[in-house]
């Protein structure tokens, strides 16, 4: 596959393939957002409501096209658009309504009275929210041909789907009062995971594109950022019994997998995750107020010692990565600084990563 906006895409794909397989690279993977040379010329259009704006497929793709055309793609950064109606789209599949509260995100309205009620539910792939995700995916594949890569939307399945349908606090009570019901409900929604994922990924694969999602990794084959943010609210024993079996099944559906471990409250489950032979890599997100990255060296080492790939997400600038690198093995590392950087400092950082990997 070739992109006019990223002529070295074949080399980037090869580098990701090596990373997934923990093979040596001349430098770690680096995804870095660079300030554009000119601001994107976004279309001006009035919408009667926030919902109307989100559901306007043509308008959304006009904005995507403007942003991508203005983008700068250094290192392993690739022009990507992930169709998105908010992180609880799968709750909408199971009948929940979405509320679009801002231009950035939405939330679902809990709709289930008892966790075991979920056992009688099935996704409705014809509902308007999922149809919009399909339309965004199809239109992106058409308009982005040879210009950008279309990703699989942010799904939030397994325990996060239960939390969206029930309400996180209510699901915590369920875990205390009826953990077996939570396990059964989680297994039930996971039965539908292949159909949900493949409905979107199948369209992307048929267009000859690599797989990607909100985490900007690439693979010529199915991969996904497996996650469950709800687990920060439950004990390791509850996690192992009710949630982990579903995560294992989702991972098993993929050629490659990266687990999104979100926040200090989730760290108590790291050992259980590292025991999963099928899991390829871990993305540790320390979260707001819990930095810098150097504070979590033991976490990075545990992940590397378990033979997993490591994505380091940093919020405190490029020096965060320079501070932790001497204590890590370059093989299997992926740096993802959050924020925008000037081209010169991004290029200098890429040179530094090469020197680090070479032992300089």
| Spatial contact of 239 and 270, defined as CB atoms under 8 Å apart | no
| pLDDT at 360 (0 to 100) | 56
| Spatial contact of 331 and 302, defined as CB atoms under 8 Å apart | no
| pLDDT at 1 (0 to 100) | 80
> What is the C-alpha R_g of the chain?
20
CATH of residue 95:
3.20.20.210
CA distances from 48 to 58, 75, 85, 176 (A): 16, 40, 17, 44
Residue 339 lies in a domain: no
Residue 136 lies in a domain: yes
Q: How far apart are CA 329 and CA 307, in angstroms?
A: 11
Residue 320 lies in a domain: no
The encoded tokens of residue 152 equal: 């699989």
Total residues belonging to the chain: 360
**Overall domain count for the chain:** 1
CA distances from 357 to 3, 24, 341 (A): 28, 10, 22
Residue 169 lies in a domain: yes
| 348-354 long-range contacts, CB within 8 A, separation 24+ | 349/30, 349/32, 349/318, 349/321, 350/27, 350/30, 350/32, 350/74, 350/75, 352/322, 353/27, 353/28, 353/30, 353/321, 354/26, 354/27
Mean pLDDT by 10 residues, the chain (360 residues): 94 97 95 95 93 97 96 98 98 97 94 97 98 98 97 98 98 98 98 98 98 98 98 98 98 98 97 98 94 96 98 96 96 96 98 92
| Spatial contact of 258 and 217, defined as CB atoms under 8 Å apart | yes
Residue 2 lies in a domain: no
> In which region does residue 221 sit, left (phi positive, over 0), alpha (psi from -120 to 50) or beta (all else)?
left
| pLDDT at 224 (0 to 100) | 98
For residue 75, the enclosing domain spans 9-262
| pLDDT at 44 (0 to 100) | 87
Q: How far apart are CA 302 and CA 284, in angstroms?
A: 11
Residue 209 lies in a domain: yes
Q: How far apart are CA 155 and CA 202, in angstroms?
A: 15
Q: How far apart are CA 86 and CA 104, in angstroms?
A: 8
Q: How far apart are CA 220 and CA 212, in angstroms?
A: 9
Q: How far apart are CA 249 and CA 197, in angstroms?
A: 13
* 113 class by beta-carbon count within 10 Å (0-12 exposed, 13-18 middle, 19+ buried): exposed
Q: How far apart are CA 82 and CA 75, in angstroms?
A: 20
Residue 215 lies in a domain: yes
Residue 34 lies in a domain: yes
């Amino acid at each position: 596959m070739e992109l006019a906006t990223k002529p070295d895409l074949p080399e980037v794909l090869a580098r990701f393939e090596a990373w997934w397989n923990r093979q040596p690279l001349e430098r770690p993977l680096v995804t870095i957002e660079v300030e554009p040379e000119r601001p994107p010329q976004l279309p001006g259009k009035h919408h009667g409501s926030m919902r109307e704006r989100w559901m306007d497929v043509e308008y959304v793709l006009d904005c995507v096209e403007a942003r991508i055309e203005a983008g700068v793609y250094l290192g392993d950064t690739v022009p990507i658009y992930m169709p998105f109606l908010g992180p609880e789209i799968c709750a909408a599949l199971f009948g929940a309504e979405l509320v679009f509260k801002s231009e950035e995100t939405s939330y679902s309205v809990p709709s289930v009275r008892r966790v075991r009620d979920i056992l009688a539910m099935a996704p409705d792939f014809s509902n308007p929210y999922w149809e919009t995700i399909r339309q965004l995916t199809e239109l992106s594949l058409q308009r982005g041909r040879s210009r950008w890569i279309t990703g699989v939307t942010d799904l939030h399945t397994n325990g996060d789907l239960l939390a969206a349908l029930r309400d996180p606090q209510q699901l915590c009570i369920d875990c205390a009062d009826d953990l077996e019901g939570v396990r059964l409900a989680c297994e039930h929604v996971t039965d539908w995971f292949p159909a949900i994922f493949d409905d979107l990924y199948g369209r992307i694969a048929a267009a000859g594109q690599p797989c990607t999602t909100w985490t900007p990794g690439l693979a010529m084959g199915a991969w996904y950022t497996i996650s469950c943010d709800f687990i920060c609210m439950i004990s390791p024993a509850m996690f192992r019994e009710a949630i982990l079996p579903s995560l294992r099944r989702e991972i098993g559906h993929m050629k490659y997998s990266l687990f999104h471990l979100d926040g200090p409250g989730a760290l108590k489950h790291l050992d259980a995750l590292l025991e999963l032979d099928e899991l390829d890599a871990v993305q540790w997100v320390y979260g707001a107020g819990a930095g810098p990255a150097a504070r979590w060296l033991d976490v990075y080492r545990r992940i590397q010692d378990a033979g997993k790939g490591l994505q380091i997400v940093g919020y405190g600038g490029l020096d965060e990565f320079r501070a932790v690198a001497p204590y890590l093995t370059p093989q299997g590392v992926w740096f993802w600084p959050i924020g925008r950087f000037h081209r010169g400092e991004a290029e200098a950082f890429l040179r530094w990563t090469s020197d680090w990997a070479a032992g300089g």
